Structure 1
Amino acid sequence: MRFDQDGLVPVVVQQHDSGEVLMVAWADASALERTLARGEAVFYSRSRQEQWHKGATSGNTQRVLDVRVDCDADVLLYLVDQGQDGVACHTGERSCFHRRLTGTPTPPDQPAPAPAKESTP
């Protein structure tokens, strides 16, 4: 693994069976080791400068089923089981990607998504 100058690596978190992208977070080497050892996602908070076990306070843990590394070895992908009713986002949404960028077109081969909150760049 190639960690950045701060000793961190971005982690994309995806629901293992549906492919739904749940969140993006950061991990340091120790958080990655703890994730592998316990089988639940542990991340590093850049704002708090400390590790956090996903769901330790909310109960919305992420059971890590597989860890993959990208072709440049500088991004991780956690394939997780978030649970049927589990939420990944601190807002209470299942996915942190519940908002669409204003003006984003819907691809012609896909049905229009359910109405979502919009955000401007």
Structure 2
Amino acid sequence: MSRFSQLPSNELFKALESAASKDTLPDTMTLLDAVRFNAEGLLPAIAQQHDTKEVLMMAWMNREALEETLATHRVCYYSRSRKKLWRKGESSGQQQHLKSAALDCDGDTLLLEVEQTGPACHTGRRSCFYLSLNDKQAHINSEPLIDPAELYGNQ
């Protein structure tokens, strides 16, 4: 048993700040108990293409979605609009397969390195971050790879 498993969950991430890599870290379930989900029980999750490091999207996970993702390596999010689990690609076929997952230093944001199949964005673009901003004007920095009507079959 590690020294971290004895800590209250609100102190765990603070204690990890000074942990040496050789320390025996807490198991995953202990860490998940300490994750700082928001008032709705959700955690922001940033999906990044594992090999190019391109940021693809940000979505939300509840604990169930996070546990499923870690167990199956197929990324599962929580849909706030549908109020249910959403397995990326279940309607479009554009899945994300987990390569690695990392919590930030506060335990309140998750970074997922994924293998993305096709576009990540519901607009048919590779990335959801296609609207670039500067101090004067916005512009679209990428075109859709696939027509959204093809992705979703005019649902």
If the length of structure 2 is used for normalisation, what is the TM-score?
A: 0.65
| 2:150 is equivalent to residue 116 of structure 1 | no
Candidates 121, 126, 136, aligned match of 1:89: 121
Within the candidate set 100, 103, 114, 2:132 is matched to 100
The SS at the match of 1:94 is: coil
Partners of 1:70 and 1:22 in 2: CA distance: 18
1:11 to 40, 45, 49: 45
- Cα distance in structure 1, aligned partners of 2:121 and 2:114: 14
Q: What TM-score do you get using the length of structure 1 for normalisation?
A: 0.82
Q: C-alpha root-mean-square deviation of aligned residues, in Å?
A: 1.9
Rg: which structure is higher? 2
The separation in 1 between residues aligned to 2:60 and 2:133, in whole angstroms, is: 23
Within a 5 Å distance, the mapping from 1:25-104 to structure 2 comes to 25-83=59-117, 86-103=118-135
After superposing on structure 2, the runs of 4+ consecutive aligned residues of structure 1 that deviate more than 4 Å are none
Q: Relative to total residues, which structure has the larger helix share, 1 or 2?
A: 2
5+ residue gaps in structure 1? 106-114
Alignment length, in residue pairs?
Answer: 107
**More strand, by proportion:** 1
Instruction: Quote the sequence identity (%).
Output: 48
Alpha-carbon distance in structure 2 between the residues aligned to 1:97 and 1:116: 9
